[in-house]
Amino acid sequence: MSLVGPKSQSMQKRAEKVLPLGVNSNFRYWGEGLTPYVDKAKGAYLWDVDGRRFIDYRMAFGPIILGHAYDEVDAKVIEEVKNGVLFAMTGELEVEVAEMIVEMCPAIDMIRLACSGTEATMHAIRVARAFTGREIILKFEGNYHGFHDHTLWSTYAPVEAYGNRRNPIPVPASSGIPQSMGENVITLAFNDFEGFERVMRSYGDQIAAVITEPCQGNCGAIEPQAGFLELIRNKTEEYGVVFILDEVKTGFRIANGGAQEYYRIKPDLATYAKALGNGYPIAAFGGKREIMSIIGHGVSQGGTYTNNKPGVAAAYATLKLLKTKPILESIQKRGQRLMDGLKEIFEDNNIPVAMSGYPTMFSFALGVEAVTCQRDWDNSDKDAYLKLVEMAIELGVMPDHDAREPWFLCYSHTDADVDETLNVYADIVKKVKS
């Protein structure tokens, strides 16, 4: 088996005539002649257009928490869409979804729905600026908060472009982002305790919001060091800054109440998407009643598709299952066994490895002992990581092609899937080592 079959190669040539790079998101492009095209997916597996089956650890970049085409979710969506898909009015199902989110997430008093994580963080930042009357946003290098211009800074650039760690340079992640946007962005290395305290002393009374992921969801799932989130919480309270916890990836995945429950932290605002709807287009942002209540009172927020019935129905079914069944406990057990097994394989082959993240969402960096931020992660052996991924895909196991993207597990993964994955990695690690 090769990395990409002939039908995928043919599809890429066809797609490139009508889609830039032949895909609908840059993240789906793996290179000329190397980009796979999907035919279908069910449970923990997907099949490409060449008919090859893979154990899927990409899970659509994280949304699939139950499994692809999960029957109970799809049944609820089908039931609801028979009565209409979109309305210029609010329905009871939206209210019920909001009530479940408020019940499950410790810091949420009120929420608003959206269609994507990008929208959720964009709206949250607007609300934070309106609430504080300030404009500056502080974010951390390597953290991704969606594709809007306000936070697409110091996300994917080579770390040498970031400048000195003590005085980082905000780097736009794309052409087309106005340089003037950077005047309202401060960047820091993740887990930089001293740097964060210093910046807050200097600029705290000018900052509207500090936004961070609980872990670096687009940079190896690097976790916060003990006390780092608490430091953010304490200093933002001290300076009247809105603390936005971006739970687009961790929400409803690392605990039913997300990172708020896991770390016992209460931000002012939080953002959600991905696992909220098991793959359907749904997102949300919410937080303290005092802050959320300003929406509609001089603060604009909306969207034609924010209450799209497929997304709302999927969220209803997904949250109901998470509340009533030991979904995450099951995933965590298998994920922990996979993490432990991979770590043992690398150690048995005398390959330094830094495991990071959570059993439901994890990664590893090769050739290093520990990573605390993107600057550390950049020192890892990314070429070896990619080589292993490509060999694994050839054998029917599909992590993401990008070393920054975590491995995701879902409720449909089985112990047999974990066994097969560990057997594949035990074989290919020996080959790469030799």
Residue numbers annotated as active site: 144, 246, 274
Strands 407-408 and 53-56: unpaired
Distance, CA of 75 to CA of 63 (rounded, Å):
18
Q: If you compute the radius of gyration of the chain from its CA atoms, what whole number of angstroms results?
A: 21
Q: CA 237 → CA 67, 205, 215, 364, distances in Å? A: 39, 11, 21, 34
Strands 269-272 and 110-114, sheet pairing: unpaired
> Which residue has 């112990």 as its token pair?
415
Six token digits for residue 408: 């995701």
